[in-house]
Chain A
Amino acid sequence: MDSPKAHSDQRYIEALLHNDSVMVREIYEKFSGKVVAFIKKNNGDDSDARDVIQETLIVIYKQAFEKKLVLTCPFDAYFFLLCKRRWWNKLKNTDRKEVTIEEDLASVDRQSEQTVDSTELYELKSKLLIDKLNAMSEKCRELIKLTMKIDSMKTVAEKLGVSYAYVRKKKSICMGHLTELVRKSKEYKNINEL
């Protein structure tokens, strides 16, 4: 994307980034009623709605933090569609009885849909990464986590009580291993086909 112009609703994204409780409350008051009504109409209850809303807001926060999410559509449409799809996926993954949720395509404009897609893609990628990281040996996992948290490799070496050269070498081996796991997974191939 070539630096798109942010929608004025970008302020809600900023609110999540800055943990602004007044604005967060506004998000609930303005945009959540619709989500709750939708979920209740489709086999869910208040507590389902509560989870879906919270999870969705956390994903938006993470994408905004990591990838500088720029909203080019109204927050309302973006948020509602994300929640809707999340609920739909949850229904698909549980034994709840078959339900069909009609995606009212006419009401979704392309811009919102694209932003929603980017958020969903982001979530799939981070999930894949965490899954693969967890599949690694504990030694590698700890080393990777530590080197991500602490910028200086010298400090990491001191913390682990090993030499600087060893940490550098071991890190590149572990990271290489992780890269291979990610690159060769079928999820990664699927994601890149999207």
Chain B
Amino acid sequence: MNAEEYHLIEKYLNNDLTEDEQNDFDSRMEDEQFAKKVRVYKEVSESLKAQEKSKHGEEDLKLTLEAVSSEFFASSKKNGRTIPLRNIYWAAAACIVLALSFVFIISWPSGPNYNDYSDYEPLTLSSRSENQSLTMAAEEAFNGKKYTEAAKLLNQLLKADPENPRLKVYLAISYIEIDNYTAAENLLTDVAQGKSVFQSAASWYLALGYLRQDKTNACKKQLEQIPETSPYFNRSKELLDKL
């Protein structure tokens, strides 16, 4: 590689050539090889610059895509969730126990419960965040169902980014899981009244929070507010029918 050549090209791209250098540059440009180097250098430089500038927007778009596709794929699955095979064995075992105990128990408590519906999408947060270790710890705690820990960490993240609807919803879910309903309700109401992509998720979890507290009326009321356009509509209708 000829360092001097590239120094000249760099100066040329910065409009920084002296008159002598410009003449030198012009005459070199007659050489096809040199012209090609200039073209590739320019292309590489422009492309890297654009990539650097698009990074911010790309991270933001990724978050939107995550949220929208979570909703899209949740509502496109007919019954809301898939049951891992392991659970089917447990279910089979449970059925046998149930069948046996049926002899002794006349009325089995029925009705939907919170756990039937609490199938959360795994939490993924932006890697742009300055608090990368905190972000990762929060994801790990939430996805590992350690909700007390998750609530603590998400709370810290929310302090740094107080308007983030994703953090609010996941913090609220963590609160529901650890029975801190008032805090959950405040956060969810806030998001449900907003215009973010998490709006419909917030309404839905608000209803589930009531379900978990056995507040059937409040739950029904909340479910009735979920519009047909919401990705949670089918599930909310199903739950309403059971209540």
Contacts and interface: CB of A to CB of B under 8 A. Distances in A.
Interface stretch (B39-47, B93-101, B149-157, B213-221): B39-47
A169 B57 contact: no
A179 B40 CA distance: 6
A107 B3 CA distance: 52
A180 B32 CA distance: 15
Contacts of A24: 64-65, 68, 197
Interface residues of B, number: 41
B72 A28 contact: yes
A180 B1 contact: yes
Interface stretch (B5-13, B20-28, B112-120, B185-193): B5-13
A179 B37 contact: yes
Q: How many interface residues does chain A have, given as a range?
A: 35 or more
A81 interface: no
Query: Majority SS of interface residues in chain A?
Result: helix
A36 B50 CA distance: 31
B60 interface: yes
Query: Majority SS of interface residues in chain B?
Result: helix
Contact of A54 (B11, B50, B69, B197): B69
A173 B3 contact: yes
A49 to B, nearest CB: 8
B51 interface: yes
Interface string A14-34: 001101010011001100110
B161 interface: no
A36 B75 CA distance: 13
A80 to B, nearest CB: 16
A62 B1 contact: no
A126 interface: yes
Given A28-B69, A66-B54, A129-B44, A179 B6 contact: yes
A90 B67 CA distance: 24
Given A65-B57, A126-B47, A175-B45, A25 B65 contact: no
A49 B176 CA distance: 31
A169 B69 CA distance: 47
A21 B49 contact: no
A58 B69 contact: no
A186 interface: no
Interface of B: 1-3, 5-7, 9-11, 36-37, 40-41, 44-45, 47-54, 57-58, 60-62, 64-69, 71-73, 76-77, 196-197
11 contacts: A24-B64, A32-B72, A50-B73, A57-B65, A65-B54, A129-B44, A148-B52, A173-B7, A180-B1, A182-B40, A183-B36
Interface of A: 16-17, 19, 21, 24-25, 28-29, 32-33, 36, 46, 49-50, 53-54, 57-58, 61-62, 65-66, 125-126, 129-130, 133, 144-145, 148-149, 168-169, 171-173, 175-180, 182-183
